[in-house]
Chains A and B, each alone.
Chain A
Amino acid sequence: MPHPSPDTQQKQQTKTQKDVPWNVVVLNDPVNLQNYVTMVFKKVFGYSQSKAETLMMEVHRQGRSIVWTGGREKAELYVQQLHGWQIQTTMEKTG
């Protein structure tokens, strides 16, 4: 089996990095109201009241919650939206 060229290796590595799912992680903060965070989860992700409340309570009790997992570009879009709602959010690779 032929060895891939450095270029091919680089492309493969980049592709693999892009393929790794990313978590959108919301962090707890002392200012945002619980009802507000629940409302934002419903608006941004289209979650049900029940799912949005569960995630909000996870943020409140555990200090963070993974609210969505998927491709990098979409994760960045969600983070951007959550920042627009003034909610402390970051993203991290899964695994």
Chain B
Amino acid sequence: MKVLPTMEGGLCILPESEADWEELELICSDAVRPSHLAESLADLMDEQSEWDEYVVPDLEENFQSQTRFVNAAIENARKSQEAVVFISPAQAEKWYGALNQARLSLHARYDVEEMNETAHLDEMEPEPRSAYFRNRFYLLLQSMLLEFVLNREG
């Protein structure tokens, strides 16, 4: 898979195999619990703020819209003749958000950020090993979005 900056200030992802498409589709599978994320952020607030009632529903909708968007973008690109996933500058925040949800979820399930420093990949079980590599891929995409799209805009 190749990821390249585009002339219009976005990114394009060029999947080269079925496995690459599957890897892209896993972004939204990994970001499985937008409601859990919204609730965990609400846990940081005191009860008087009534965050659960007034803010959490909006946060959930926002997080779900990010994953819905990315899921549809990958699905549509896969069906198209070009078979390229384009991320325009206007779409970059949604992509970044969905990738962040996926990384937060992987971290909660596998503690992947700790693995980065202490990983003995050969000794790992297949599931956490796969999570480790997915996290690295999502991190790379996020870094490219920041470098070539989001910070370029700001």
Bound pair: A and B? yes
Interface residues of A in 1-50 (CB under 8 A from B): 27, 30-33, 35-36, 39, 42-43
Given contacts A30-B113, A42-B154, contact A86 B37 (CB under 8 A): yes
B104 and A86 form a contact (CB under 8 A) = yes
Main secondary structure of the interface of B (DSSP, over half): helix
B44 and A89 form a contact (CB under 8 A) = yes
B154 and A43 form a contact (CB under 8 A) = yes
B104 and A31 form a contact (CB under 8 A) = yes
Which of the 9-residue segments B2-10, B18-26, B93-101 touches chain A?
B93-101
A35 and B146 form a contact (CB under 8 A) = yes
List B contacts of A79 (CB < 8 A): 45
Interface residues of A in 68-88 (CB under 8 A from B): 76, 79-80, 83-86, 88
List B contacts of A86 (CB < 8 A): 37, 41, 63, 97, 100-101, 104
- Our pick among B45, B58, B101, B147 for the contact of A91 (Cβ within 8 Å) is B45
CB A80 to nearest CB in B, in angstroms, measures 5
Q: Could you tell me the distance between the alpha carbons of A79 and B42 in the complex, rounded to whole angstroms?
A: 10
Interface string of B54-73 (1 = CB under 8 A from A): 01001100110000000000
Q: Could you tell me the distance between the alpha carbons of A31 and B42 in the complex, rounded to whole angstroms?
A: 18
B41 and A36 form a contact (CB under 8 A) = no
Nearest residue, chain B, Cβ from A32: B100
Q: Is B107 an interface residue (CB 8 A)?
A: yes
Q: Could you tell me the distance between the alpha carbons of A43 and B92 in the complex, rounded to whole angstroms?
A: 15
Interface residues of B (CB under 8 A from A): 37-38, 41-42, 44-45, 49, 55, 58-59, 62-63, 96-97, 100-101, 103-104, 107, 113-114, 139, 142-143, 146-147, 150-151, 154
The 5 A-B pairs with the shortest beta carbon distances in the complex, nearest first, are A30-B113, A90-B44, A83-B41, A35-B146, A86-B100
